A and B are shown apart, each in its own frame.
Chain A
Amino acid sequence: MATGGRRQEVSQWGFLNSCLLLVLVLMIFYCSWVNNKIVTRGYRLNELRQEEKHLVEEQGKLQAELATLKRPQNLARLARQLGLKEPRPGYKIVLP
């Protein structure tokens, strides 16, 4: 009887140890997974920041181009090409 009781006690300790080991392993896996996710997200975030930067640069260049096209001399030249003329005195009416 005494031998049977001791065997049961040993098997309980073994089960508990196995559970703890499993939890430990799971925690290690979880931490690794989280860390891996953080790094992957970091890469992705960096990619997106690069893309954003690229788009902002592109926007800046387009704005510069637009400003160049909208400069008064250019608009006047285009207007003349399209046959527009400056209003003669009296052609412009200012409503009160």
Chain B
Amino acid sequence: MKRKKRESKKERRSLQNRIRWVAGLVVFCLIAVVVRAWFVQVVRHDYYLARQQRQRRANVLMTCERGKILAADGGQLAITVKGKALFAEPRKIDDGKRLAKILAPILGQKVATLEHRLSGKRGFVWLKRSLSQEQIEALKPWCRKEAGLAFSEENRRIYPNRELAGQILGFTNIDCVGQEGLERYYDKYLKGRQIYLEREYDARRQVVDNSEYPELDYYKGKTVYLTIDRHLQAWAETALAEAVIGSRGRSGVALVMNAADGALLAMAQYPRFNPNSKRKNNPALWRNRSVVDLLEPGSTFKVFTLVAALESGVFKIDDRIDCEKGKYRVGRRTIHDTHEHGILRLDEIIKYSSNIGCSKIVERLGAERFYTTLKKFGFGSRCGIDYPNEPSGRLRSWRKWRPVDLCNVAFGQGVSMTSVQLTAAYAALANGGYRVTPHLVSKIVNSAGWTVYEYNRQGLPVRACSREVARQVDAALAKVVEADGTAPRARIPGFRVAGKTGTAQKFDFKKKSYSHSKYWASFVGYVDPPAGQSRKVVYVMVDEPKKSIYGGMVAAPAFRDINRRLISYLNYVPSSDVAGLDMPLPAGVNSGCDSVAKTAPEKVKAAPANTAADDRPGQLALVVPDFTGQTIREALARIGSYRNHVKISGSGRIIAQKPAPGSQLKPGIDFVFTLSNEI
């Protein structure tokens, strides 16, 4: 019994000892874990944290979206879409030859080329950029990072309007960096910033998106708003194409510029160019000829001779000059006119485009005075358009002019400028004498909607000529489109048109003389808008027309076509001011009553001779017609320029009107029409 008890006590003690040993071992292990944890978490915290971050996190370089280019009407001219590119890691590829055979038909490349790219131990090689959707779908089964073939995301620039304004916009390279045109000029605003995005990966290299995501919009490129209107641009391009093709010309340029501030509403060029497929086009087409190419203006420049004459005070618009019946000798050269003219007034020299008349003006005026006026319009220097590679115009110093050079410059030879520079000079005439800076961008807005740039005229407006001279020149330009002027084809019924033709000989650099077969045919002018709107200068130039060489025949019809659309688009109202040109004169109005005729509505009757208005010399009293029973369309057509003061109520035909029929018509009077469907 005692022995049993002793054995049991011994066993218990042994068990207790074993438990103690195990407990001690567990405690030791726990202490070891705690010590190790303390060592890892506290002592070498930074080292292990960095190692963890290296393994789990990676920084990916990302180029943010390039900014949009929008037209004045809000249309998208250049946008960026996400695309995909295919790259390979040749050192990871086992069978490059087999892969090359599979990829070649999908990518449209030669097997040998792909084999060469996929061979070797290189770490990275591009196989194809800008993949199409079909190519992406076809390549998906083969693309695995582990297999050494994968997609990379990239931005792709798209020009949705294709050829429209192609030369203005220019294009970017495959990495979305501006190369030509506005894409290049405004690249610093348009380009998206490159940022590093931190990504967290798991053991299988899957992305675990726990990292903070930056606000990518902040890094996007800015939106550039153009002054170009898509519709006007399209019409200008269509009219220009018709003019160039119709005259069998080589190329052409058409511009529409707001005379008030120099904003270009359209800048067309023919042949056109599609920036989406720039490599398929001849690089010569990339050039924006309106801005980059210098040309001799020819007769369109005569206007500035007239301005110089009037500004100097040496001449008055009524002065007459003998145009020598078409032949005039200056030194050893003879200057010719297209038609033989006798004595002409200064405005008639412009109307008939007399070279001899202009030569005689500058001979009397003197080279220095003429040169000073030309410099005031900015000739011989850059106009400052926001477009790359604008050249300075060529205008030699007056001290270097020989007598014959002086005469040449007077009718637009021996002086050169870009189409934009010439149009800007005409804009100065059209706005009353102030110089303008042509520009294509109205504002630039960042992704938060803040305007970071807005076009503003720099400094105080600079006068090129006085308002009075601009008015007299405007009157002279209006005569050019008269039936016996050089451009009756530029006339538009119901609207006052002013402009000037130009037919300039091109210089033949091989023969070192002016060509007798190559010409620039041009027309530049404007249509008078309704009150409150500024004039829009339209310039059309056709290079080397074959059918006819004259600006009045080749360019003037395109000018008219562009303006017809512009008139409709900008809601110009036909005016009876130009009744003498195309509209019937109001009854009872004779040519001696200019001031009244200018504002008289169509077909209104003269008031009885005993009215008070009749007593005033040079005035003609007019009466309000009876509009009852007419449609509003008919009534508005009869009211003419009075239509700014019309109030309409109801619909249908006119049943009542104010003022009453037969009452005296006064400027500024309000018309009130009540319409009804009952009659």
Known interface pairs A68-B161, A92-B568; A43-B208 also in contact (CB < 8 Å): yes
Known interface pairs A42-B200, A42-B210, A60-B82; A71-B493 also in contact (CB < 8 Å): no
A residues within 8 A CB of B632?
93
B residues within 8 A CB of A90?
574, 637
- How far apart sit A93 and B171, CA to CA, in the bound complex (Å)? 41
State whether the Cβ of B58 lies closer than 8 Å to any Cβ in chain A: no
State whether the Cβ of A82 lies closer than 8 Å to any Cβ in chain B: no
- How far apart sit A63 and B80, CA to CA, in the bound complex (Å)? 10
The 8 Å CB contact of A60, one of B81, B202, B207, B210, is B81
- In the complex, the answer to whether B206 meets A60 with C-beta atoms within 8 Å is no
- In the complex, the answer to whether B637 meets A64 with C-beta atoms within 8 Å is no
Known interface pairs A63-B76, A68-B162, A71-B230; A42-B208 also in contact (CB < 8 Å): yes
- In the complex, the answer to whether A67 meets B493 with C-beta atoms within 8 Å is no
- In the complex, the answer to whether A68 meets B160 with C-beta atoms within 8 Å is yes
State whether the Cβ of A39 lies closer than 8 Å to any Cβ in chain B: yes
State whether the Cβ of B52 lies closer than 8 Å to any Cβ in chain A: no
Residue of B nearest to A89 (CB): B493
State whether the Cβ of A46 lies closer than 8 Å to any Cβ in chain B: yes
Known interface pairs A70-B75, A87-B568; A64-B160 also in contact (CB < 8 Å): yes
Most A CB atoms within 10 A — which of B80, B161, B574, B637?
A: B161
Within 8 A of B (CB), among A6-28: none
Most B CB atoms within 10 A — which of A39, A68, A71, A87?
A: A71
State whether the Cβ of B458 lies closer than 8 Å to any Cβ in chain A: no
A residues within 8 A CB of B633?
93
Known interface pairs A42-B200, A64-B158; A94-B81 also in contact (CB < 8 Å): no
B residues within 8 A CB of A53?
82
- In the complex, the answer to whether B75 meets A67 with C-beta atoms within 8 Å is yes
A residues within 8 A CB of B571?
94
Known interface pairs A61-B81, A67-B79, A90-B637; A96-B643 also in contact (CB < 8 Å): yes
The 8 Å CB contact of B646, one of A41, A92, A96, is A96
- How far apart sit A72 and B234, CA to CA, in the bound complex (Å)? 6
Fill in one digit per residue for B620-633: 1 if any A CB lies within 8 Å of its CB, else 0: 00000000000011
- How far apart sit A73 and B272, CA to CA, in the bound complex (Å)? 13
B residues within 8 A CB of A38?
210
State whether the Cβ of B636 lies closer than 8 Å to any Cβ in chain A: yes
- How far apart sit A61 and B155, CA to CA, in the bound complex (Å)? 12
Fill in one digit per residue for B550-585: 1 if any A CB lies within 8 Å of its CB, else 0: 000000000000001000100101100000000000
How far does the Cβ of A93 sit from chain B's closest Cβ, in whole Å?
6
A residues within 8 A CB of B162?
68, 71
- In the complex, the answer to whether A46 meets B207 with C-beta atoms within 8 Å is yes
B residues within 8 A CB of A41?
210
State whether the Cβ of A79 lies closer than 8 Å to any Cβ in chain B: no
- How far apart sit A65 and B133, CA to CA, in the bound complex (Å)? 14
A residues within 8 A CB of B97?
none
Within 8 A of B (CB), among A49-69: 49, 53, 56-57, 60-61, 63-65, 67-68
State whether the Cβ of A34 lies closer than 8 Å to any Cβ in chain B: no
- In the complex, the answer to whether A39 meets B202 with C-beta atoms within 8 Å is yes
State whether the Cβ of A31 lies closer than 8 Å to any Cβ in chain B: no
8 contacts between A and B (CB under 8 A): A45-B209, A60-B81, A63-B76, A64-B76, A64-B79, A64-B81, A93-B632, A95-B646
State whether the Cβ of A76 lies closer than 8 Å to any Cβ in chain B: yes
Residue of B nearest to A92 (CB): B568
Within 8 A of A (CB), among B196-245: 200, 202, 206-210, 213, 230-231, 233-235, 238
Given contacts A46-B207, A65-B160, 11 further A-B contacts (CB under 8 A): A38-B210, A42-B210, A56-B82, A60-B79, A61-B81, A63-B76, A67-B76, A71-B230, A87-B568, A89-B494, A89-B564
- How far apart sit A57 and B151, CA to CA, in the bound complex (Å)? 15
- In the complex, the answer to whether A76 meets B75 with C-beta atoms within 8 Å is no
- In the complex, the answer to whether B202 meets A73 with C-beta atoms within 8 Å is no
How far does the Cβ of A83 sit from chain B's closest Cβ, in whole Å?
19
Residue of A nearest to B568 (CB): A92
Residue of B nearest to A94 (CB): B571
State whether the Cβ of B599 lies closer than 8 Å to any Cβ in chain A: no
State whether the Cβ of B452 lies closer than 8 Å to any Cβ in chain A: no
Known interface pairs A61-B81, A90-B637; A73-B164 also in contact (CB < 8 Å): yes
Within 8 A of A (CB), among B143-199: 158, 160-162, 164
Residue of A nearest to B232 (CB): A72
How far does the Cβ of A23 sit from chain B's closest Cβ, in whole Å?
16
Most B CB atoms within 10 A — which of A43, A56, A65?
A: A43
Most B CB atoms within 10 A — which of A64, A72, A76?
A: A72
- In the complex, the answer to whether A49 meets B234 with C-beta atoms within 8 Å is no
- In the complex, the answer to whether B161 meets A71 with C-beta atoms within 8 Å is yes
Known interface pairs A60-B79, A68-B162; A96-B644 also in contact (CB < 8 Å): yes
Residue of A nearest to B208 (CB): A42
Within 8 A of A (CB), among B606-628: none
Question: Nearest 3 pairs between A and B by C-beta?
Answer: A67-B160, A72-B234, A46-B209
- In the complex, the answer to whether A71 meets B160 with C-beta atoms within 8 Å is yes
- How far apart sit A90 and B494, CA to CA, in the bound complex (Å)? 10
- How far apart sit A92 and B564, CA to CA, in the bound complex (Å)? 12
How far does the Cβ of B581 sit from chain A's closest Cβ, in whole Å?
14
Residue of B nearest to A72 (CB): B234
Fill in one digit per residue for B67-111: 1 if any A CB lies within 8 Å of its CB, else 0: 000000001100111100000000000000000000000000000
- In the complex, the answer to whether B81 meets A73 with C-beta atoms within 8 Å is no
How far does the Cβ of A37 sit from chain B's closest Cβ, in whole Å?
11
State whether the Cβ of B34 lies closer than 8 Å to any Cβ in chain A: no
